[in-house]
Amino acid sequence: MKKGAVVVNTARGAVMDEEALVRALEKGQISSCGLDVYENEPSVHPGLVDNPKVMLLPHMGTWTEETQTGMELWTIGNVRCALEEGRLKSRVGEQRDLAYDS
């Protein structure tokens, strides 16, 4: 990464190696970061908690009535698809090896 880059992760905690991120912040390779998901939730690396160049937030970007309703409908559709077709409409990487019985 370019020296002085800013890292923002609002996707999945597992995509970040927090230990490596702490080292990169200490060396100045990364100038700052903002996270609302964490590698080992609910634990957060102490080197991130204590660093003034780090903004840590709870994962709450989906807390609107419209988003919550949409997520509920999507989940119901996913359950139906799993039960009726043996597959999911949306599968995350951690689920790629799961088998589904119809």
**Catalytic residues, which ones?**
12, 41, 59
Helix (H, G, I), strand (E, B) or coil at 53: coil
Helix (H, G, I), strand (E, B) or coil at 56: strand
Q: Compute CA distances 50 → 15, 29, 61, whole Å.
A: 21, 18, 24
